[in-house]
Amino acid sequence: MSHTPTPPTPQGNAATPKPTLAGVRVRQRKGAAKATAKLDPEGFRDSLLLHLALVPEPPTVSALVDKLLAAGATLELLKYYEQLFEVLFIGGLLQPGGSYLDDKRSPVYVLQPASEHDAPTDGGEVFNPVTGMVETLKRVMQRFKYLQKPLEENFLPDILGYLPKWEPAQRAKFAEAVALLIVEVGISPKCLLTLTRDHVVKDNVSLNFLTAFAKTYLSKQNMDHLGLTFRRSGLKDIALTVPHQTRSRKQVEDHFKAEGLPQVAEWYTKMAMNESKEDLVQNIVRMINDEEPVDQILEQLQTGQAEKPVPDTDMVDWIWQALMKSFDWSARPDQIDAAMVQHITTYAPLLEAFANGAKAEVTLINAVQVYCYTDTRLLKTFPHILKVLYNKDCVSDQAIIYWHQKGAKPNGKQHFLKMTEAMVKFLEEQDSDEE
């Protein structure tokens, strides 16, 4: 009787057990072991406090730096960055909601009452918890560079959300620390965006924090530098730190003037005006391109002026810029002069409505002069534009004569004065005849 052989089991089949070595433990890589280890925030805090407990009294920056560098050699600072910064800034661990987890405190931290360190240091000065800790962090982060990113991207934006739970004096201290970290350590100012959250804005918490921040910042840098920091932070409008019910441009200006920061108020006014200018110019260009009737465009401008008043000198300048942006420059070079005159003639009522008074009229003439000097295609067109503005009652004869005698801008001044000599002479003779 024939016997059919059983086919061999394929290699790797589940039926075949893999060989094992009894009693051998596979070692895990050190990095993998750390990554999978259970978080122990309180254990890290306790170990860190043991290092800080060795800082002498009164503390010094050098002693603090030495102890933190020593702690970094044995503790996982990056893994427990949140607990590290809570100890150094707040003094202890926080639980969700912002209250302290327990009574354990660091011997030195940013929000520490100054009276706790009233003894002078070796240099003869009392240790300042704010400036001392900022200098300490600066030196420590020069050694452990990996700590800066979690500080500026995670810790500070989150911790600023707890400002309403702190006392005013603590907020002021933290504002000072954040300003110094940005100016002297070079951290990103994006944490300031937290100040626009509704619960932080309430009760002027954000506004007062920003005020203390600005005072410290301006003690180290100028207003232009601070303005650049505001833009880099994403905080495009500092009015967002004012409670909704009182939020206005005037409220912002009055607040900073009252706080002894007129340069902030002036900077804000300028920024707000620039924003208004961009919006107005864009709206006029859009309406002209959509071929909306001139009277409808003027009605919208007057409505906007009633809601948010803008000086007439600015209005005529902005309207002029909008007219230039909306002009069709595709015409042949020899036809641009006539096309521009027609364009200004059509939309002159927009200028006439806001050219109220000699100052606004001279401002308008100068705006035309500077533009014609900048765009050489209009160098020869200037007297024709000026004539249209005069005929359409946008500018008076007295404004033109004043501009010609002593009000012209230096941009191509002699060229434009010579081109308008005949017109000015005519206006002067006309005035003489009327007298």
According to DSSP, the residues that pair with 100 across neighbouring strands are 94
Cα–Cα distance between 137 and 159 in angstroms, integer?
17
Residue 434 has pLDDT above 90, yes or no: no
Helix (H) or strand (E) holding 177: helix 168-180
Q: Before 309, cis peptide (omega within 30)?
A: no
What does the pLDDT look like over 145-184, one tens digit per residue? Answer: 999 999 999 999 999 999 999 999 999 999 999 999 999 9
Question: What residue type is 410 in one-letter code?
Answer: P
Compute the C-alpha angle 314/389/407, nearest 5°: 60
Q: Which of 11-15, 23-27, 330-334, 336-340 comes out lowest in average pLDDT?
A: 11-15
Cα–Cα distance between 84 and 330 in angstroms, integer?
64
* Domain ranges within the chain, ordered by starting residue: 40-117+126-270, 293-434
N-term to C-term CA, the chain = 145
- Count CB-CB contacts under 10 A for residue 430: 11
Per-residue tokens: 314: 């600015």
DSSP state of 27: P
40-117+126-270 adopts what CATH topology?
1.25.40
DSSP state of 188: -
- Count CB-CB contacts under 10 A for residue 163: 22
412/432: higher pLDDT: 412
**40-117+126-270 and 293-434 share one CATH topology?**
yes
Q: Residue 163 has what pLDDT?
A: 96
Class at the top of the CATH hierarchy for domain 293-434: mainly alpha
Q: Which of 114-128, 252-266, 316-330, 343-357 comes out lowest in average pLDDT?
A: 114-128
Share of the chain above pLDDT 90, in %: 76
Q: Residue 121 has what pLDDT?
A: 47
Q: Residue 119 has what pLDDT?
A: 47
In degrees and rounded to multiples of 5, residue 94 shows phi and psi of -110, 150
Residue 138 has pLDDT above 60, yes or no: yes
